Amino acid sequence: MAISTALWSFALVVGLLTLTPGLDTALVLRTSALGRRKRALGVVLGIQSGTLAWGALTSLGVTALLTASHMAYEALRYAGAAYLLWMGGRLIVDTLRGRHTEEEEQGSEARAAGPHGTDSLTAGWRQGALTNLLNPKMGVFYVAVLPQFIPAGAPHFATGLLLTGVHIALGLLWSALLIAFAQALRGWLQRPQARRLLDRITGTVITGFGLRLALGD
C-alpha cells in the first residue's frame, strides 16, 4: 500500500470518527457558544495535542503497553471516568444553584469568563488535553488502527506522525465549523434560561461518557 493511499484511507476512517457527535463536540460547542473565544481555541488545541501524543506514542510502540497491561488500562480508565464525572456533575450542580443568574448580574466581563475559570487559552488547553489523554479508548483506537495504515517498509515513526497529522487537520477543520455554528447561537444564549439548558445538556453528555467509561461500555 502506497503512502498516498494510506493517507486517504486513514482520512476516511478518522473523518467519520471526527464527525460522530461525542465528548469533544460537546466541549467545543459549549465553550464557544458561551463566548469564550480564547478558551474554546484552547480546548481545540488541547484535544489535538492529546491526539498528537497518542499518535506519537503509538508510533513508538509505547501505547501497546496500555492494551497489554490490564492494570494500566484500568487505572487510566477510572482516572478518566472520575474526571468526566466531576466535570459533568459540576456543570449540572452549578445550573441548579443558579450561578448563571448571578453571573448575569455581574456584567459582560463575568459573562465572558463564565463559571469554572476565565476565558483563558491555557485553561482551555488543559481541559481539552486532559479530556483526551485520560480516555484510554483513544489509545486503544490508535493501537488497533494506526499500524494497519503504515505501509510495509515505510519509516514507522515518521509515517505514524504523518497519519496522525491527517487526523489533527480534520479535527481542526471540524472544530472551526463547530465554533462558527456556536457563534451564531450566541444571541439566543444571552438568555440565562438558555445558558442553563446548554450547561445541563452538556453536563449530562459528559457525565454519560464518564459513566460509560467507568462501566467499561
Q: What is the pLDDT of residues 205-215, one digit of tens each?
A: 888 888 887 88
For residues 43-77, one letter each, b for 16 or more C-beta atoms within 10 angstroms of the residue's C-beta and e for the rest, the string is: bbbbbbbbbbbbbbbbbeeebeebeeeeeebeebb
pLDDT tens-digit map of 153-188? 889 899 999 999 999 999 999 999 999 888 887 777
CB 67 within 8 A of CB 73: yes
Does 213 reside within a domain?
no
The stretch 103-115 carries a mean pLDDT of 39
Give the pLDDT confidence score for residue 64 in this predicted structure. Answer: 72
* Domain span holding position 163: 3-16+23-78+102-190
Model confidence pTM above 0.95: no
pLDDT for 43? 95
Structural domain contains residue 95: no
Output the pLDDT for position 115: 42
Question: Do residues 81 and 211 make contact, with C-beta atoms less than 8 angstroms apart?
Answer: yes
CA distance 158 to 12: 20
Q: What is the mean pLDDT of residues 1-21?
A: 87
Q: Is pLDDT at 109 greater than 50 in this prediction? A: no
Q: What's the confidence (pLDDT) of residue 66?
A: 67
Flag whether 150 is in a domain: yes
Position 200 in a domain: no
Residue 209 · residue 23 · CB < 8 Å? yes
* pLDDT at residue number 118: 63
In a domain, 89, yes or no: no
Which are the contacts of 43, defined by CB distance < 8 A and separation ≥ 6?
27, 28, 31, 124, 125, 127, 128
The answer, yes or no, to whether residue 69 has pLDDT greater than 80, is no
3-state helix, strand, coil split of the chain in percent (to 5) is: 85, 0, 15
Return the pLDDT at 208.
87
Q: Is residue 97 part of a domain?
A: no
Instruction: Tell me what the mean pLDDT of segment 103-130 comes to.
Output: 63
List of residues 6+ apart from 154 with CB closer than 8 A: 3
The whole-number pLDDT of residue 106 equals 40
Backbone angles phi, psi at 199, to 5 degrees: -70, -35
Residue 86 located in a structural domain: no
Looking at this protein, which amino acid is placed at residue 66? L
Residue 181 lies in a domain: yes
Q: How many domains is the chain built from?
A: 1
The per-residue pLDDT for 113 is 38
